[in-house]
Each structure stands twice: as structure tokens, then as C-alpha cells.
């Protein structure tokens, strides 16, 4: 009996070992063990684009304490236009806030040197863009760096933060060729531009008071009481005379398109005298429209 029990125990143990071996090796009737999961490569984070151009300036500034960038302004710290023969970008900018916008001489500067208002009696608050970056734009401005004879009185420029302005497209421009005696209103750029010749005879500055050449822009258009304009609007430009500190008792010597009965040849104090049809067309152009005089 003890032998039978011992034999039975041996059989049971052997059977148990067999079962363990079968389970460990996997039989035809058993489930295949699940394979180890394949590692999944995590998606790389999309890098933040590097801002193009000068770094942003997050400083908070107020108009108080800064000279206003208007037609009367004298801004020795603002640079004059160093590329007067180049075209603008077909964009106009204006302060987005009623408080206006700070104007910088250079985007690397920590502090502004002038202030561009949103509204100004004599205009100049809508300005053409000549250079554009993510955080900054360079624009043409009204005012002067210095009076004639005391420094450079030519076209001013400055830098605005893109966060401070609204930018709109304006592909209109005016091209004046003094030697060819033509004034053209241009819509668009390059070979696709539409050109409208509005004058083939007009007057321009005399030798002692030449019409400034290069690029400027429409500062203000309004009807005045000046007799020679005969009730037609005057289109005032951003650039002032480079030989006259002032004119007709004023502290400014603004150049302009205007009507005049006498309008042929190099005879004016710098303004461009045109006929009725031409001044009517020019008066339709929005503020900030670039003017190219060569």
C-alpha cells in the first residue's frame, strides 16, 4: 500500500512537471504570449519661429516728454532718408491707439525720440512703410532734422513698433519727372502697374529754390483761402524746402502740388504748379500716398 501510494505520488509529481513544462513552452491549445509593445517615437515639438529682424521692444511709453512728429517738428535724432531713389513697400501705417505711437531713431534703442499722434491738424499721421520686419517698420515722417544751412533738411524717417500701428495696403503713387515734364498717377507696381498721365506741362522750383527730389508722401489735402489756388485743393507733401527755412511768414517751407494760373517752367519756390484737372486728380489720393520726384 505504501509502495502504491509512493508510486501514485511519483506519477502525480511527474504529471505536474509535465503540465508546467507544457505551460511554459506553450502548447497548440494555449494562447500565444503577447509580444512586448513596440516603442513609439514621440513627436518632436514644433520649434517657435525665430522673429525676423530687430528684437521687439516691450517698453511702455507715453506722449508726454517727447516732441511731436508733425510738420513743425525739429528732430535732430531722427535719420534722414538714405535711399531716396527706392520705392516704398506699398503699405501705409498709422497709430492704432488714439494716444499715438512712439517713434524710434533705431530699433535697437531703448527709448523713443519722438511721438506720432493719431490725429494732427496738419496731417502727416498716415505714413508710408519703407522697411518691414516682424516687430518693427521703418517709415517716412514729416518734420525736419535741421533747418537749411544748419544741417540736413531732407526727408525724415523713423521706426515704429508693429504692435503700435495699423498697416494697410496702398499701391497708389505719383511719379514726377521734371526733365520729361510728366506727372503720372500709378496704381500697382512693376510691369503690371496702371499708369495715368495727368500732366505734361507744369511749373517746378527755380534754381535758388529747387523742388526737392526723391521720395516723399501726401501729408495733407485741403482747400485753403490762398488766392492763387483759385478754390482748388492743395496737396501738401512731407518734404520741405532744402533752401528755405520758412515761407510767407511761416516757420515751415512745405512743398506741394497746387493750381496756379502761371504754371510752366522752373519758376516756383519749390512747389509743383498744375492745372485744374491735375490737381483734382491728385486731391483724390489718400494721405500717405508716396510721391517720387526725379
Name the nearest CA neighbour of 167 among 96, 80, 233.
96
Active-site residue numbers?
260, 271
Distance CA 108, CA 99 (A): 23
How far apart (Å, rounded) are the C-alpha atoms in residues 115 and 17? 94
β-pairing verdict for 290-293 and 272-274: unpaired
- Determine contact, residues 120/63, Cβ cutoff 8 Å: no
Grid coordinates representing 102? 512712439
> Would you call 22 helix, strand, or coil by DSSP?
helix
DSSP state of 163: G
3-state secondary structure 40-99: CCCCCCCCCCCCCCCCCCCCCCCCCCCCECCCCCECCCCCECCCCCCCCCCEEEEECCCC
DSSP 98-146: TT-EEEBSSTT-SS-SEEE-S--TT---SEEEEEE-SSEEEEEESSBSS
Cβ neighbours of residue 102 closer than 8 Å, sequence gap 6 or more: 61, 66, 112, 114, 115, 116, 160, 161, 164
In angstroms, the CA 259 to CA 279 distance is: 6
Supply the DSSP symbol for 170: -
Amino acid at each position: 500500500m505504501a509502495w502504491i501510494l509512493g508510486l501514485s505520488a511519483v506519477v502525480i509529481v511527474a504529471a505536474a512537471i509535465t503540465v508546467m513544462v507544457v505551460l511554459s513552452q506553450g502548447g497548440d491549445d494555449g494562447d500565444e504570449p503577447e509580444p512586448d509593445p513596440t516603442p513609439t517615437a514621440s513627436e518632436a515639438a514644433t520649434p517657435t519661429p525665430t522673429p525676423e529682424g530687430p528684437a521687439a521692444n516691450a517698453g511702455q511709453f507715453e506722449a508726454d516728454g517727447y516732441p511731436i512728429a508733425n510738420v513743425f517738428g525739429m528732430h535732430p535724432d531722427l535719420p534722414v532718408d538714405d535711399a531716396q531713389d527706392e520705392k516704398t513697400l506699398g503699405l501705409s501705417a498709422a497709430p492704432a491707439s488714439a494716444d499715438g505711437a512712439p517713434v524710434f531713431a533705431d530699433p535697437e534703442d531703448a527709448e523713443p525720440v519722438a511721438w506720432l499722434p493719431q490725429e494732427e491738424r496738419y496731417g502727416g499721421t498716415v505714413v508710408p512703410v519703407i522697411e518691414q520686419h516682424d516687430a518693427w517698420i521703418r517709415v517716412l515722417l514729416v518734420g525736419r532734422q535741421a533747418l537749411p544751412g544748419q544741417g540736413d533738411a531732407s526727408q525724415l524717417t523713423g521706426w515704429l513698433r508693429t504692435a503700435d500701428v495699423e498697416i494697410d495696403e496702398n499701391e497708389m503713387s505719383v511719379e514726377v519727372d521734371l526733365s520729361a515734364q510728366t506727372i503720372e498717377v500709378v496704381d500697382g507696381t512693376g510691369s503690371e502697374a496702371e499708369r495715368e498721365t495727368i500732366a505734361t506741362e507744369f511749373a517746378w522750383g527755380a534754381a535758388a529754390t529747387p523742388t526737392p527730389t526723391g521720395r516723399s508722401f501726401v501729408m495733407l489735402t485741403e482747400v485753403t483761402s490762398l488766392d492763387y489756388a483759385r478754390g482748388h485743393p492743395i496737396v501738401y507733401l512731407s518734404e520741405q524746402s532744402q533752401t528755405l527755412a520758412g515761407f510767407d511768414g511761416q516757420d515751415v517751407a512745405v512743398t506741394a502740388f497746387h493750381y496756379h494760373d502761371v504754371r510752366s517752367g522752373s519758376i516756383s519756390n519749390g512747389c509743383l504748379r498744375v492745372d485744374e484737372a491735375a490737381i483734382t486728380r491728385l486731391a483724390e489720393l489718400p494721405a500717405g500716398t508716396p510721391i517720387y520726384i526725379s
